[in-house]
C-alpha cells in the first residue's frame, strides 16, 4: 500500500494503491462528497486477491485532496471525470478496469465516452444513466412528484435523512451517530444493519480527512448535460451494471435502463444490496466485478 499525491490541473488529489504493481490496474471511483477511504479496505483486499492492483483516491474537495472555495473555483462533474484520468496518469497506468459507485458510476460513463482508450472494462453500480435527471428527480421526490421519464425517484424518507447533513456539527460522537443513521437509511431493509461496522468506517473517514465536517461541494458541480445520455449507445468498453435491489436512491429498474442503454452491457442485480457497502455484500460484489474483469483480461 503506497500513498501519493497526483496533480490534476490546479488541484492535488490524494491517492493510494494496493497489491502487485505488475497486476492489471483497477481504479475505484467513489460517489459524491465521499473520499476514497469510503471504499472499505476489507472489500479492496478481495479485489487484490483476485489479481488486481487497486487504486483509490479522494475527489477534489474531499479527504486529503485540495479544497477550494467553489464560488471562486467552480467545476463540473465532467471535470471530476478528468481528475480520474489524472489519477491514472499519476500512477503510470495507461489502461485500467474502472469501477464507479453512485456519482462514481456517472464519472465512469463519462470516461467510457470521452476517454475510452484508458479503460479496459467499466463497472458501474448503484447509479443512473447519464440521460436520467437525477438532480431533478431528487427535487421531485421531495415534493411527491413523479419523474419525467417513468423511472422511480429516490425514496423521500431517505432524502429527509440526508438533509440532516446541513445541521451544524456539534462533536465527534453526535456526528458519528448522524452518519451511522444515514447509512442505516441507505442500506435498505433486507440485510441486518451492523451499526458498529459503519461507525468504524466513518471513524476512518473522519481521521483520514482530519475534520468532522462532511464535504458538500459536489452538489454545486455542473451536472453532465442530459443530452449526453443519447451517446451511451456509442460506448464500446465492456460494461457491467450492478443494481442494488434495495437501493433507495437509484432503485430498480434504473440499472436495467442503464444496461439497456449501452450496447452489450450486462446487468447483475444483488437483491439485498442498498446504497452502501456492508461487509455482508463484499464477497458477492467482488465476485461479480472479478468475473467481469477476468472475462476481458
Q: Mind listing the pLDDT tens digit for each residue in 110-140?
A: 999 999 999 999 999 999 999 999 999 999 9
> How far apart (Å, rounded) are the C-alpha atoms in residues 250 and 72?
32
Angular region, 170: left φ>0, alpha ψ -120 to 50, beta rest:
alpha
**What tens digit of pLDDT does each residue of 134-179 get?**
999 999 998 889 887 889 999 999 999 999 999 999 999 999 999 9
- Band (pLDDT 50/70/90 cuts) for residue 297 is confident
Active site residues: 102, 247, 275
Angular region, 18: left φ>0, alpha ψ -120 to 50, beta rest:
beta
The pLDDT assigned to 149 comes to: 85
Half-sphere exposure (Cβ direction) of 12: Cα atoms closer than 13 Å: 6
The pLDDT assigned to 227 comes to: 97
* Sequence spans of domains, the chain: 2-133+215-295
Mean confidence (pLDDT) of the chain: 97
**What tens digit of pLDDT does each residue of 13-71 get?**
999 999 999 999 999 999 999 999 999 999 999 999 999 999 999 999 999 999 999 99
- pTM listed for this prediction: 0.98
- Band (pLDDT 50/70/90 cuts) for residue 278 is very high
| Cβ(83)–Cβ(62) below 8 Å | no
**How far is CA 74 from its chain centroid?**
21
Residues of the chain with pLDDT > 90, as a percent, come to 95
Domain at 2-133+215-295: CATH code:
3.40.50.1820
The pLDDT assigned to 146 comes to: 84
Half-sphere exposure (Cβ direction) of 196: Cα atoms closer than 13 Å: 0
Residues of the chain with pLDDT > 70, as a percent, come to 100
Exposed, middle or buried: residue 75 (CB in 10 Å: 0-12, 13-18, 19+)? buried
Amino acid at each position: 500500500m503506497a500513498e501519493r499525491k497526483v496533480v490534476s490541473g490546479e488541484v492535488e488529489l490524494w491517492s493510494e494503491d494496493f497489491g502487485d504493481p505488475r497486476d492489471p490496474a483497477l481504479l475505484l471511483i467513489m460517489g459524491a462528497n465521499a473520499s476514497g477511504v469510503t471504499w472499505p479496505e476489507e472489500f479492496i483486499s478481495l479485489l487484490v486477491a483476485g489479481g488486481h492492483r487497486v487504486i483509490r483516491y479522494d475527489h477534489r474537495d474531499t479527504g486529503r485532496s485540495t479544497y477550494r472555495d467553489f464560488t471562486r473555483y467552480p467545476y463540473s462533474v465532467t471535470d471530476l471525470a478528468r481528475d480520474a484520468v489524472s489519477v491514472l496518469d499519476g500512477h503510470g497506468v495507461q489502461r485500467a478496469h474502472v469501477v464507479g459507485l453512485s456519482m462514481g458510476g456517472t464519472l465512469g460513463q463519462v470516461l467510457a465516452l470521452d476517454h475510452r482508450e484508458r479503460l479496459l472494462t467499466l463497472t458501474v453500480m448503484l447509479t443512473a444513466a447519464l440521460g436520467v435527471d437525477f438532480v431533478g428527480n431528487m427535487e421531485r421526490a421531495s415534493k411527491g412528484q413523479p419523474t419525467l421519464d417513468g423511472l422511480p425517484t429516490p425514496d423521500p424518507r431517505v432524502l429527509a435523512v440526508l438533509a440532516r447533513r446541513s445541521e451544524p456539527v456539534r462533536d465527534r460522537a453526535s456526528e458519528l451517530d448522524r452518519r451511522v443513521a444515514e447509512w442505516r437509511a441507505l442500506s435498505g431493509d433486507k440485510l441486518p444493519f451492523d451499526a458498529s461496522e459503519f461507525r468504524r468506517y466513518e471513524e476512518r473517514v473522519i481521521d483520514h480527512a482530519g475534520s468532522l465536517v462532511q464535504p458538500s461541494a459536489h452538489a454545486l458541480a455542473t451536472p453532465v448535460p442530459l443530452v449526453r445520455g443519447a451517446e451511451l449507445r456509442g460506448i464500446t468498453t465492456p460494461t457491467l451494471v450492478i443494481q442494488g435491489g434495495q437501493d433507495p436512491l437509484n432503485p430498480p429498474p434504473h440499472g436495467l435502463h442503464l444496461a439497456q442503454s449501452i450496447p452489450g452491457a450486462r446487468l447483475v442485480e444483488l437483491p439485498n444490496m442498498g446504497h452502501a457497502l456492508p461487509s455482508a455484500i463484499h464477497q458477492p460484489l467482488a465476485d461479480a466485478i472479478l468475473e467481469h474483469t477476468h472475462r476481458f483480461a
